[in-house]
Amino acid sequence: MRSIRRPTIGVFDSGVGGLTVLHALLDRIPDADYLYFGDTARLPYGSKSAATVVHYAMGAVRYLQEQGAEFLVIACNTATALALDQIKTSSLVEVIGVVEPGAEAAAKATTQRRVVVIGTEATVASHAYRRALETRNVAVREKACPLLVPLVEEGWTEHSVTEQVARIYLAEAFSEDSRDADVLVLGCTHYPLLKPLLRRIAPAYVTIVDSAESTAHTVARQLEIDPLHPPNDPERRTVPRLKFFATDSADKFKNMGTRFLGHPVEDVVHVDLKE
């Protein structure tokens, strides 16, 4: 990708979970502006058909491009698994999903060539991470952890109930032929909020790979083919411009989004995408 003086990066997710990807992008690429679209009125995507997910995702990314997005990040694991190819085909700008960067980071981190991936039921059922890792000659154990998302959205990231649930999930994930797996991939955008808890209860020899961070590094590599701008460029700013779009209540998005992003979420525009 050729350099954009100060790129406007569009980030799409079915809800607020993708704000963990935006958080990683802000840390890694502060010299950019960001548009975030959360399709909060139509989540969860995991219970929708593949055709419906493609339809919803295409509408959202089209809207982001109309708002000026020059680079697209599909932060939703389900949309990445089911709609990324179609989005890439129709998009006028470069598009990156979260699965390939997470798989690449996991493949580099494992010495045993065995990896555990945890995610939602929809992401696990898609086998997107399995396919991406097996092409890199890595054996994969996938584990759906459906209770973790509602616990995170409840704000129970350090609650004893969440810890007990996570212990059960990880014990099952690292059992039998996956006992020697040495990498745990967080295959859901909600899970980075559980990283401190998961680090405490996962086996000590296991490296945790956060797909949000991996995606941010991949985007940064794409944008750093040429410098974004010289150090003395008048467009250089330390504070990115952030604008948020949500298909459900803007106030609800602000309240929950602040917890996911790590600082106040402001400038939220309600969007009504026509079916």
Q: What is the CA radius of gyration of the chain?
A: 18
Give me 54's structure tokens: 């493609």
CA geometry: angle 96, 23, 113, nearest 5 deg = 60
Q: Rounded to whole angstroms, how far apart are CA atoms 241 and 225? A: 23
Q: Which is catalytic among the residues 87, 122, 133, 188? A: 188
Give me 173's structure tokens: 């994930």
Q: Rounded to whole angstroms, how far apart are CA atoms 89 and 223? A: 20
Q: Determine contact, residues 184/206, Cβ cutoff 8 Å.
A: yes
Q: Rounded to whole angstroms, how far apart are CA atoms 190 and 69? A: 24
Q: Which is catalytic among the residues 29, 76, 83, 124? A: 76
Catalytic status, residue 76: yes
Output the CA–CA distances (angstroms, integers) from residue 162 to 85, 145, 152, 155, 264, in the order listed: 35, 11, 8, 10, 25
CA geometry: angle 105, 108, 113, nearest 5 deg = 115
Q: Determine contact, residues 107/129, Cβ cutoff 8 Å.
A: no
Catalytic status, residue 145: no
Give me 207's structure tokens: 């490296």
- Active-site residue set: 76, 188
